[in-house]
Amino acid sequence: MSRSELKKKPPGLKIRPMEVDDLAPVFHLGEKLFTANTVPNLYRTWDEFEVVGLYQSDAEFCFVAEIDDQMAGFVLGTVISKSKSAWKYGHLIWMGVDPAFSRQGIADRLANFFLETMLDEGVRMLIVDTEADNLPALQFFRKMGFTNPQEHIYLTMNLSGRQQPSPEKKGNGQGKK
């Protein structure tokens, strides 16, 4: 086996459907990867409700990658179908690889496994989104065959440092008279 083949398929790599016992490890890996410090403009936050919600509603589109029984990465997604449309849309929502396993082709394998699952499901359009300045992710997804990037602007307002409105401001929005 050539060196590039070894890089693309690490020995012992297995991709399998996510199980209930994977919820905590997937969540904790995501906590390590998706932080406000590394991705300050996240318009969607990584939290346990996101992971559990996707697992509960779309377990058939949630997968983990393991190397020798150790979690190396995950991919979480969904399928959207409109009742009046013949089209099914797949959405790759979250994907992450443990930095300890980076550069071993795990992200490629996860993305391809997810793509094959979407094809088996009859999906006609696969969607992924990422930060406009996340150049490694953009390069990866372009390499995987995603095209036609659309730019969106998401504005955020951090309310954690703001004071609660006074009691007279609550209610009908007109204040106390």
Q: Which tens digits make up the pLDDT trace of 37-80? A: 666 555 457 788 889 999 999 999 999 999 988 999 999 999 99
pLDDT band at 176 (very low <50, low <70, confident <90, very high): low
Is residue 172 in some structural domain? Answer: no
Confidence of residue 171 (pLDDT cuts 50, 70, 90): low
pLDDT value for 117: 95
Between helices 48-58 and 23-33, what is the axis angle to 10°? 130
Q: Is residue 121 part of a domain?
A: yes
Beta-strand relationship, 88-97 and 13-17: unpaired
Q: How many domains does the chain have?
A: 1
Q: Is residue 165 part of a domain?
A: no
Domain membership of residue 128 as a residue range? 3-150
If phi over 0 gives left and psi between -120 and 50 gives alpha, with beta otherwise, what is residue 35?
beta
Give the per-residue SS3 of 123-177. CCEEEECCCCCCHHHHHHHHHCCCCCCCCCCCCCCCCCCCCCCCHHHCCCCCCCC
Residue 139 has pLDDT above 60, yes or no: yes
Separation between Cα atoms, residue 145 and residue 172, nearest integer Å: 51
In a domain, 38, yes or no: yes
Q: What is the CATH number of the domain that holds 23?
A: 3.40.630.30
50 in a structural domain: yes
Token pair 């954690």 in the structure block, residue: 160
Residue 163 lies in a domain: no
Q: 19-23, 31-35, 126-130, 149-153: lowest mean pLDDT where?
A: 149-153
Confidence of residue 1 (pLDDT cuts 50, 70, 90): very low
121 φ, ψ (degrees, to nearest 5): -80, -5
> Does any domain span residue 83?
yes
Identify the residue whose tokens are 């980076």: 102
Which of 18, 29, 25, 83 is CA-nearest to residue 54? 18
On the question of pLDDT at 2 being above 60, the answer is no
- Domain-located, residue 43: yes
